[in-house]
């Protein structure tokens, strides 16, 4: 099939490469010529493991093309995927301006009938809105919702091995046609009404965020009663009705999706006169989790003025360079505000973090360089490489001997045996 993808961010580029891998002819559109030039050369414009290999393979196979020419791409296609960002507005609702711009561009450029598929995460009713914008063009359009569930850092695997594919359409036949694009993927396939598909995406992210806030609340109780949250999580996670995933206590969720999607769902419900109390608590707990951790550091170090603190990790999670809504960034800022000097290292997110952190922040070439002469060390991203550091060497390099592990990443017994004073979450 012939497909256009509008937007080449985490979702757009992975979808373009993934759909080409499934055998389709794909034109991916970005407005920036420099980015298109890089992609045409087989170079990634952000870090995502395994994506470069498949990108180059499908460029070589001539199944994947990159262009700034919106009209040419769209008129060469039967399906157009909208994969642009939908960031939060000040009131928590999703900013649909990029989606509307793209719908307007399709309305202007299309010279044929098309199926337009929304892969961006959008509020219920956006399909109808896009349909309305497209009406000004005389051709026939079907507007379908096909939410994306990939995880950054594992995006290629997730796209090609999804737990399920959801397609929401106003006509079953159109839904099935869009589903046929994924015929090669053997998984659960759900064709629903368009509004249902739009809501499934928000409900999925809100549920996962709720699990995280729940285990963080349990962690806070654990600290008060002397229990161990990891063992509690294991103990409840072995129950098949609960399952062990997303029960990791820490400094709360971040990233480009959970925070904005939870806020957006709360706002969508509110705009329809429904007070989604549970989500209010989920957000409050998540914000509190970062603050609790910062307070723990401040309490132990008494004063942060003139203290050197090593912060390992800046990305919102491991295996990505994405720092959107990253707890690590908030922690660096809060510690600097309290007078500490921060030396930091992240395997992939240094360039993105440099754009948002202050000039005072010292970016180091390695975790060891960040640890040198530090009074305390903070783990803020769960990069497995941090667990594998030579902690005896870290101890030698540091001035102090305190570790604050915001991700419960390290083996407590091991680091304590080395003489570290170890603080984690819920233990």
Ligand X SMILES: NC(=O)c1ccc[n+]([C@@H]2O[C@H](COP(=O)([O-])OP(=O)(O)OC[C@H]3O[C@@H](n4cnc5c(N)ncnc54)[C@H](O)[C@@H]3O)[C@@H](O)[C@H]2O)c1
Smallest separation, CB 18 to ligand X (Å): 13
Nearer to ligand X among residue 8 and residue 216 (C-beta) = 8
Closest CA to 313 of 394, 399, 406, 219: 406
List, in sequence order, every residue forming a beta bridge with 27; answer none if it has no partner: 4, 65
Closest CA to 156 of 46, 54, 42: 54
Closest CA to 370 of 397, 399, 345: 345
Smallest separation, CB 179 to ligand X (Å): 18
Nearer to ligand X among residue 150 and residue 349 (C-beta) = 150
Report residue 191 CA to chain centroid gap: 25
Smallest separation, CB 160 to ligand X (Å): 15
Residue 294 corresponds to which tokens in the numbers above?
């910062």
How far the first Cα of the chain sits from its last, in Å, is 53
Catalytic one among 83, 146, 257, 364?
Answer: 257
Closest CA to 381 of 153, 148, 208: 153
Nearer to ligand X among residue 84 and residue 134 (C-beta) = 84
Smallest separation, CB 317 to ligand X (Å): 10
Smallest separation, CB 58 to ligand X (Å): 18
Q: What is the DSSP letter of 154?
A: S
Nearer to ligand X among residue 31 and residue 164 (C-beta) = 31
Smallest separation, CB 425 to ligand X (Å): 24
- Beta carbons of 264 and 202 less than 8 angstroms apart: yes
DSSP secondary structure of 159-184: HHS-SEEEEE-SSHHHHHHHHGGGTT
Alpha-carbon gap, residue 288 to 424, rounded angstroms: 15
Between the alpha carbon of residue 347 and those of residues 135, 214, 320, 322, the distances in Å are 47, 30, 9, 12
Q: Are strands 341-345 and 308-312 parallel, antiparallel or unpaired?
A: parallel
Nearer to ligand X among residue 148 and residue 346 (C-beta) = 148
Report residue 131 CA to chain centroid gap: 28
Smallest separation, CB 53 to ligand X (Å): 20
Between the alpha carbon of residue 170 and those of residues 142, 148, 195, 407, the distances in Å are 8, 19, 9, 43
Active site residue 146: no
Chain positions contacting ligand X, by CB under 6 A: 6-12, 29-31, 83-86, 98, 101-102, 120-121, 148, 150, 152, 256-257
Alpha-carbon gap, residue 347 to 124, rounded angstroms: 38
Question: How many Cα neighbours within 13 Å face the side chain of 425?
Answer: 30
Nearer to ligand X among residue 190 and residue 227 (C-beta) = 190
Nearer to ligand X among residue 125 and residue 419 (C-beta) = 125
The residues assigned a catalytic role are 257
């Amino acid at each position: 099939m012939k497909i256009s993808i509008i937007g080449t961010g985490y979702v757009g580029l992975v979808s373009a490469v993934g759909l080409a891998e499934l055998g389709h002819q794909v034109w991916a559109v970005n407005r920036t010529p420099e980015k298109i030039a890089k992609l045409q050369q087989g170079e990634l414009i952000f870090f995502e493991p395994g994506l470069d290999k498949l990108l180059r393979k499908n460029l070589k196979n001539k199944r994947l093309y990159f262009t700034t020419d919106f009209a040419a791409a769209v008129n060469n296609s039967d399906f157009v995927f909208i994969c642009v960002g939908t960031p939060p507005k000040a009131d928590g609702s999703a900013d649909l301006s990029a989606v509307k711009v793209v719908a307007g561009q399709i309305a202007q450029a299309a010279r044929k009938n098309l199926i337009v598929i929304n892969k961006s995460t959008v509020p219920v009713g956006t399909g109808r809105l896009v349909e309305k914008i497209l009406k000004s063009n005389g051709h026939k359009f079907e507007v379908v919702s096909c939410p994306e569930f990939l995880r950054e850092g594992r995006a290629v695997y997730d796209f090609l091995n999804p737990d399920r594919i959801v397609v929401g359409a106003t006509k079953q036949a159109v839904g099935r046609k869009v589903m046929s694009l994924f015929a090669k993927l053997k998984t659960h396939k759900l064709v629903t009404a368009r509004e249902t598909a739009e809501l499934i995406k928000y409900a999925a992210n809100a549920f996962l965020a709720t699990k995280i806030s729940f285990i963080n609340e349990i962690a806070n109780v654990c600290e008060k009663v002397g229990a161990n949250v990891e063992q509690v999580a294991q103990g409840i996670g072995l129950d098949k009705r609960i399952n062990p995933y997303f029960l990791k206590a820490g400094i709360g969720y971040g990233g480009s999706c959970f925070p904005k999607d939870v806020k957006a769902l709360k706002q969508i419900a509110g705009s329809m006169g429904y007070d989604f109390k549970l989500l209010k608590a989920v957000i409050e707990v998540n914000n509190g989790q970062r603050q609790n951790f910062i307070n723990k550091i401040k309490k132990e170090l008494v004063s942060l003025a003139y203290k050197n603190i090593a912060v390992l990790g800046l990305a919102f999670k491991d295996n990505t360079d994405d720092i959107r809504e990253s707890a690590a960034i908030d922690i660096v800022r809060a510690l600097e505000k309290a007078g500490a000097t921060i030396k930091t290292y992240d395997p992939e997110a240094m360039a993105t973090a440099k754009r948002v952190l202050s000039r005072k922040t010292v970016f180091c070439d390695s975790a060891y360089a960040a640890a040198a002469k530090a009074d305390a060390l903070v783990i803020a991203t769960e990069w497995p490489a941090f667990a594998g550091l030579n902690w005896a060497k870290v101890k030698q390099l540091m001035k102090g001997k305190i570790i604050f592990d915001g991700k419960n990443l390290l083996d407590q017994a091991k680091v304590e045996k080395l003489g570290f004073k170890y603080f984690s979450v819920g233990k």
